[in-house]
Amino acid sequence: MTITRTLATAGRVLTQIRHDPRTVALLLLVPSLLIGLVAWIFSDTEVFQSVGPAMIALFPFIVMFLVTSITTLRERRTGTLERLLSMPLGRGDLILGYTLAFGLLAVLQSSIAALFAVTVCGLDIAGSLGLLVAVAVADAILGTALGLLASAFARTEFQVVQFMPLLVFPQILLGGIFLPRDQLPEVLQAIGDALPLSHAIDALTAVAAESHDDAYVLGELLVILAWIAGAVILASLTLRRRTP
């Protein structure tokens, strides 16, 4: 692994995206539009105030997971992945390069989404706005990292797509949005508590309501960062140079 190759890969991914302005626009705006839609649906109720923070976690997470796994899927399908892996590119160079490139996009996307929820949709944030954005960004990068892990694990294109329902949907279902996690059956609650998206939702909800101190939020943030690091390392280790 070398810094030059990692940065070259990140630069290459960003140059590719830059050639497609519509994708950039969609990437940056879609989560905000969806948050706006949820706010509109619940406009005459107090519901948005309680689910709004979870939406800031949810939409960027899903969008980044999808975009990342589809981009790497495309890399697989066009044969460039196979070509790169026959070259002296470290598997970590590739995974980290992608993480850096999409991480940068995640910073922009989540900042826009969080600010949109607060300023346009009128979500009240009792705690620190900076902390809210920090958690939202980490959560979007988590989406990228899991997307990379999914496509590294997969050996075929079909498998890549199957990982979306497998890795993302349970996190949404068990994250406490549909039913608070403490009301779930015991086993599901334990699983839900461990999943990374739950930590993001908890942290964002805590900042919004200022129900916990900053140390709690920072602790949750650390858990998310650990998941990101774990997913990136695991993705580098499981990416196969040889395919059937």
CA 61 to the chain's CA centroid: 3
34-42, 85-93, 146-154, 225-233 -> range binding another protein (CB under 8 A): 85-93
Can you tell me which of 43, 162, 238, 243 binds another protein, judged by CB under 8 A?
243
Contact call for residues 143 and 61 (beta carbons, < 8 A) = yes
DSSP string, 11-36: HHHHHHHHT-HHHHHHHHHHHHHHHH
Binding pattern for the stretch 12-31 against another protein, x by CB under 8 A and - elsewhere: x--xx--xx-----------
Can you tell me which of 39, 51, 64, 89 binds another protein, judged by CB under 8 A?
89
Can you tell me which of 43, 80, 128, 238 binds another protein, judged by CB under 8 A?
80
Distance separating the N- and C-terminal Cα atoms of the chain? 25
Sign of the Cα torsion 61, 110, 42, 211 reads: positive
Written as six digits, the tokens of 2 are 């070398």
Angstrom distance (rounded) from CA 135 to CA 128 = 11
| CB 97, min distance to another protein, A | 10
61-69, 80-88, 116-124, 186-194 -> range binding another protein (CB under 8 A): 80-88
Our finding on whether 87 is near another protein (CB under 8 A) is: yes
Question: Radius of gyration (Cα) for the chain, nearest Å?
Answer: 18
Chain residues binding another protein by CB under 8 A are 4-5, 8-9, 11-12, 15-16, 19-20, 78-80, 82-89, 241-244
